[in-house]
Structure 1
Amino acid sequence: MGDWLDDAKAIEELERERSIQAQLARPRPSGPSLPDCIDCDNEIPAARQALGGITRCVPCQTLHERSYRR
């Protein structure tokens, strides 16, 4: 018989796996990346552009995702 700590760990692992699967199921942008951010016009780093389909710099993408979740 497991104790409450084992149960909590099992629940945490299950929730982590569900979260990872939800992120992997989200559609990824495709196509060419833009050289400049569509929100702030700052340059998008080449390493980020190489991912493909990138239209925002990291700070602007973070703000976009936070406002999208609400």
Structure 2
Amino acid sequence: MATGWAGDNAVNEQIEATVKEAVERARLRLPQGPGLERCEECDAPIPEARRKAVPGVRLCVACQAAHDEEAGFSAYNRRGSKDSQLR
């Protein structure tokens, strides 16, 4: 296949670079440093294990779940991708 000046793997390299940059931008937006000891919304104590697992945590599990639900965040792929239909 004629690709002109681009190398054989140019498209894949561009996609990988774009994904890498997006991941870096997302990581920069994550909270950093020690987490709060008490939830900033309901003042419930945040367990030390959660503070260690999630750097910069500001919400307890219940408030975080409510926040994610309001934002429409879901950890599940509900689009029914072709790959998930093959399993």
Q: What is the TM-score when the length of structure 2 is the normalising length?
A: 0.47
Higher relative contact order (CA 8 A, sep 6+): 1
RMSD: 2.0
1:53 maps to 2:50: no
Structure 1 stretches (4+) deviating beyond 2 angstroms?
25-29
In terms of fraction of residues, the more helix-rich structure is: 1
Q: What is the TM-score when the length of structure 1 is the normalising length?
A: 0.57
Query: Of the two, which has the highest radius of gyration?
Result: 2
Aligned residues: 47
Residue 29 of structure 1 deviates from its aligned partner by 2.4
Structure 2 residue ranges without an equivalent (≥5): 1-22, 74-87
Structure 1 residue ranges without an equivalent (≥5): 1-24
Q: Tell me the distance in 2 between the aligned counterparts of 1:48 and 1:66.
A: 19
Aligned residues with identical type, % of pairs: 37
